[in-house]
Chain A
């Protein structure tokens, strides 16, 4: 009886308004009304978890549109386990058919969430790097800091995201449909988002994947022959994107 009850009640709790089935152990008007309290708790609290993870996306879309999209997502994709800090990774994809600009903002916010809760790791220092013989640099491979991630975005959302951090009441306009590449990092206690020059995203992703420095350079120069590799490496070291190096 217990298993059937739980399956039946879960279906009722995840149903759209008005579409819920009954629960055999909860017959009658009072139990039916009280079941609605649970349904509201479940769906609204999960939608609020998404609102907390995607606050700028919410402002960009407006409350009614975000709320509708969030409730649809919650009903179709409830969390797999009780870790709300890890809930919402599929939300940007779900937004894409509705609003591509908002979907890109959501991708940026999810990368920020992931970076914020990523594992701790020591940061590779300039001194540690200088200990390698210069002749071996081309063959160096790096260990990525767990927080570091590269994003290829189809909208210029980073300036809007930055201004939204400064002003918590500001309502961002629709982002321009311009390609942009962003590196998300967590140096010390905060989050840093770096807007990357052309080619850098390809090179950095290659490095984060553990490719040799020469391979990463090739990947970047293929996209942008003028890519300044030294400046890129300096940025990675200065912002703590790398956790180690090896030959």
Chain B
């Protein structure tokens, strides 16, 4: 895994098992450390949660990693930062990844703060040519510093951005395809985020997925979201009746998202599919049940050549 990123334009390999995985959350760690191994093909953790010098949390993950394929999913690279990436953070991540040797690493098309601040949220980017240049440089920097190929995830968005007159918006699928072509990165397709954005920003899910560069996808995410009414805040001109979808990863995957996943898999063949559940974490059996459903969809599609 210490090889450099592949040259731009080469076909990214899928590094994780083409099966269902789950996000590993603290309440479930004892079950994974116990004698009976939970039946799931791979697990994913948030990289930054394990950026600690030592202690029981990191030791537990190292023990679990010996038995399971591992994906390290970052939330803090801030690939959209105009000011560039934090060299110390990259060095810390490199140390963690060299220790854990994950099968796959990833982060988001987002920014998380500027000027030496981390805001603990994945913030929206104006999708312009300027931003594309910034993100492409940052991805190349990250892949070099981390010594690994990165998957970049499509974001979930709540707020429409209005570009100044004369500045052209690049559609998100095209923007991501450009990043793949320029940096050799792969993509992480979060189907739930597509549903959330389509509702919040008012675009068509089918058209978005038709344009998405699926050949670059090395992993898929599904998760639950919640509906929130912000009617008192939002005026009568509010799109979508003032109801906002929040991707809180705090409930079961919706039927809409499962259907879209099946549609994507029919086009791609089996890919690694992760069920994320971060808030109000349920008993492990519930999460494994969701993963089993994802696996049943995976079992229903034939491998593609």
Contacts and interface: CB of A to CB of B under 8 A. Distances in A.
A34 B54 contact: no
Interface stretch (A56-64, A80-88, A130-138): A80-88
A37 B246 contact: yes
Nearest to A10: B114
A166 interface: no
B123 A30 contact: no
Contact of B126 (A1, A37, A38, A118): A1
B75 A82 contact: yes
Interface stretch (A21-29, A149-157, A173-181): A21-29
Given A34-B158, A38-B159, A117-B52, A9 B120 contact: no
B50 to A, nearest CB: 9
A107 B257 CA distance: 46
Q: What is the predominant secondary structure among interface residues of chain B facing chain A?
A: loop
Interface string B223-256: 0000000100111011100101010000000000
A117 B126 contact: no
Given A10-B113, A38-B158, A81-B89, A29 B234 contact: yes
A31 interface: yes
A7, A25, A30: residue with the most chain B Cβ atoms closer than 10 Å? A30
B159 A118 contact: no
A41 interface: yes
A37 B238 CA distance: 15
Given A6-B81, A30-B234, A119-B54, A45 B92 contact: no
B112 interface: yes
Nearest to B248: A41
A160 B31 CA distance: 32
A7 B52 contact: no
Contact of B160 (A9, A34, A85): A34
B53 interface: yes
Contacts of B121: 13, 38, 41-42, 45
Nearest to B164: A1
Contacts of B119: 10, 13-14, 42, 46, 78
A168 interface: no
Interface string B157-180: 011111110010000000000000
A2 interface: yes
A42 B110 CA distance: 14
Interface residues of A, number: 48
B123 A85 contact: no
Interface residues of B, number: 57
A81 B77 CA distance: 9
A207 to B, nearest CB: 21
A205 B213 CA distance: 59
A25 B83 CA distance: 19
Contact of A30 (B57, B116, B235): B235
A189 interface: yes
A29 B233 CA distance: 8
Query: Which of A1, A24, A119 has the most chain B CB within a 10 Å cutoff?
Result: A1
A28 to B, nearest CB: 8
| Most B-side CB within 10 Å, residue of A1, A46, A82, A120 | A82
B76 interface: yes
Nearest to A77: B117
Contacts of B246: 37
A141 interface: no
Per CB-CB distance, the 6 closest pairs between chain A and chain B, nearest first, are A82-B76, A3-B82, A34-B159, A120-B54, A117-B52, A119-B53
Given A1-B128, A26-B160, 19 more contacts: A1-B167, A3-B82, A3-B83, A7-B114, A7-B115, A10-B115, A25-B161, A25-B164, A27-B162, A31-B161, A33-B242, A35-B159, A78-B113, A78-B118, A78-B119, A82-B75, A117-B53, A118-B54, A120-B53
Interface of B: 48-49, 51-57, 59, 75-76, 80-83, 86, 88-89, 92, 111-121, 123, 125-126, 128, 130-131, 134, 158-164, 167, 200, 230, 233-235, 237-239, 242, 244, 246
11 contacts: A2-B82, A29-B235, A30-B235, A30-B237, A31-B159, A37-B230, A45-B121, A82-B89, A84-B120, A118-B53, A189-B56
